[in-house]
Amino acid sequence: MSWTEERVTLLSKLWADGLSASQIATQLGGVTRNAVIGKVHRLGLSGRAKSPSTAARTRKPRVNATAKPAGKTENTASAPRRPQTMGATALKFEAEVEAAAAIAPQSHDDVVVPISKRASILTITEQTCKWPIGDPGGDDFHFCGHDSKEGTPYCTYHGKVAYQPASDRRRRAS
């Protein structure tokens, strides 16, 4: 199949009318959607009319469901309140946020490791926290040295910092 002048003219007209590449390929016959897209780009065709289905629609303004008609006031103290309902996803998210806040580790500035607990590479054992503190090239570099939780290399605090649930990491990233 070659692109004749007639086919290119028809392609340009259909493209300007806002037809999709698939629709144009069907009308031209013998070409694929990708061939139409390629020819459109080689011709430098741009800015086309929007089809009626993709044209911008005007939106109705949202009506606040809790808005009261003008002139009517209500005594909120005596009126029964309707319970607000939440979807299951919102309730789950709210529970996760509350749980994360309850176990959220304190900031690093609040953690003080007493000099007596500080451990060097020579003094750490299986039962001591191996959380590095400071610059490894500096003179004041040391490990936490507190008692580690069973089965982990860190104390309770540093374990919470090191092992964060994936959902918490994703939430902080966004």
Given pLDDT bands bounded at 50, 70 and 90, which one contains residue 149? confident
* Distance separating alpha carbons of residues 81 and 156, to the nearest angstrom: 44
Q: How confident is the model at residue 6 (pLDDT cuts 50, 70, 90)?
A: very high
- Residue 90 to residue 86: CA distance in whole angstroms: 6
Does some domain include residue 72?
A: no
Please write the tens of the pLDDT for every residue from 99-136.
Answer: 655 555 555 445 566 666 778 778 888 888 888 888 88
CB atoms within 10 A of CB 11: 24
Q: Is residue 151 part of a domain?
A: yes
Residue 58: what residue type? T
DSSP count for the chain of H helices, then E strands:
6, 2
With respect to residue 156, please indicate whether it lies within any of the assigned structural domains: yes
User: 165: Cβ–Cβ under 8 A, 6 or more apart, which residues?
Assistant: 100
Number of domains in the chain: 2
Whether 147 maps to a domain, the answer reads yes
Residue 8 has pLDDT above 60, yes or no: yes
The number of beta carbons lying within 10 Å of the beta carbon of residue 151 is 6
Same domain for 37 and 105, yes or no, is no
Q: Are residues 102 and 161 in the same domain?
A: yes
Q: Are residues 95 and 168 in the same domain?
A: yes
CA–CA distance, 101 with 98 (Å, rounded to integer): 5
Contact 49, 17 (CB under 8 A): yes
How does pLDDT run across 34-84, given as a tens digit for each residue? 999 999 999 988 766 555 555 555 666 666 555 555 555 555 555 555 555
Considering the domain boundaries, does residue 105 fall inside one? yes
Cα–Cα distance between 113 and 158 in angstroms, integer? 12
- Main-chain dihedrals φ then ψ at residue 102, nearest 5 degrees: -70, -35
Do 98 and 162 lie in one domain? The reply is: yes
Spatial contact of 7 and 28, defined as CB atoms under 8 Å apart: yes
Whether 125 is covered by a domain: the verdict is yes
Same domain assignment for residues 39 and 101: no
- Calpha distance 121→153 (Å, rounded): 14
In a domain, 18, yes or no: yes
pTM of the model: 0.32
Residue 148 located in a structural domain: yes
Domain that holds residue 11: 5-43
